[in-house]
Amino acid sequence: MISAYLEALASALSFDRSLSQCVRREVEDHLREAVAADPEGDGPEAERRAVAKFGDPRLIAAQFAAVSLARQTRNVGAAVILVIAGVFVAMKARLAWYAVAQCVLRDEMRAVSELVVSVDRYAFWLSIAVGITCWAYISSRRTPATFHSSYRRELHRFFLLCVIATGALITSVASDGVLTALRLFEAESPFDFLIPIFSMAIEVAGAAVLVAHIRTVTRRTASTAALLGTRAGLPL
């Protein structure tokens, strides 16, 4: 009986594998202790009573879904900051390489380059400002007991900030790509390409990871809202 219940609970928590394993261990200890403490013995009836007192696994999973979602949104907030920092380091490494390799632009490229550098700079500063706001906003929110409408609004604001920060970062990375391409026209040996291309790959990968992460969590938000919506009639 307990094993079947734990299976049902783990299955209902399958949206978060590590949480599922952790909760399963914790609940197993609870149920075994409840059976051992049952004054009427420790047989199958005691197991049935312990499971009945514990509650509907789908309802418990729905409550954990809100906790799991809150953790994931915080991770997204931290990821925004980390990716922006990673892009900054890659950008600085590339510029340092240009200085070492004495890679200079042709005069006819300078006008285009200056325009792209401006776009790059403003987009990057925008991503930093909004990214920090985004992280501070989600870190200051407390995980609610229920997935109520005000929490949904908070999440909506958070995702909006994430999209603005990521959009600005993508603009900055695209500008970096253009600037790198302009420089690489001047490159004389394949060796000159390595560091710029590697640093660009880091920037693109960072931005892609961020987009994927935000997309996953927005989908999870929708599924959690649906899950909790179907459980709205259940107590607690």
Partner 1 sequence: MASMEGEMLKGHLDMIVLAALSAGPAHGYAVIEEIKRRSGQAFDLPEGTIYPALHRLEQARLLTSRWVTAESGRQRRVYALTRRGESALAEQRAVWRQFSDAIGGLLAGVRPSRRPA
In the complex, the residues that contact partner 1 under the rule CB under 8 A are 22-23, 25-30, 32-34, 36, 53-57, 59-60, 63-64, 66-67, 70-71, 142-143, 145-146, 235-236
- Give the integer Cα–Cα distance in Å for 149 and 165: 24
Structure token digits, residue 42: 């420790």
Q: State the angle between helix axes of 149-184 and 107-139 in degrees (0 to 180), rounded to the nearest 10.
A: 160
Q: Is 161 exposed, middle or buried (0-12, 13-18, 19+ CB in 10 A)?
A: buried
**Cβ 138 to partner 1, closest distance in Å?**
12
Distance, first Cα to last Cα, the chain: 24
The answer to whether 186 and 106 have CB atoms below 8 angstroms apart is: yes
- The nearer residue to partner 1, 54 or 88, going by C-beta atoms, is 54
**Cβ 27 to partner 1, closest distance in Å?**
7
**Cβ 60 to partner 1, closest distance in Å?**
4
- The nearer residue to partner 1, 190 or 235, going by C-beta atoms, is 235
**Cβ 63 to partner 1, closest distance in Å?**
4
SS3 content of the chain, % helix, strand, coil (to 5): 85, 0, 15
Structure token digits, residue 209: 């990871």
**Cβ 221 to partner 1, closest distance in Å?**
17
**Cβ 44 to partner 1, closest distance in Å?**
19
Residue 102 backbone phi and psi in degrees, to 5: 55, 45
Q: State the angle between helix axes of 2-12 and 44-54 in degrees (0 to 180), rounded to the nearest 10.
A: 30
- The nearer residue to partner 1, 25 or 156, going by C-beta atoms, is 25
- The nearer residue to partner 1, 3 or 118, going by C-beta atoms, is 3
- The nearer residue to partner 1, 11 or 118, going by C-beta atoms, is 11
- The nearer residue to partner 1, 100 or 236, going by C-beta atoms, is 236
Q: Using alpha carbons only, how large is the chain's radius of gyration in Å?
A: 26
Residues 177, 183, 184, 189, CA torsion sign: negative
**Cβ 152 to partner 1, closest distance in Å?**
17
- The nearer residue to partner 1, 63 or 221, going by C-beta atoms, is 63
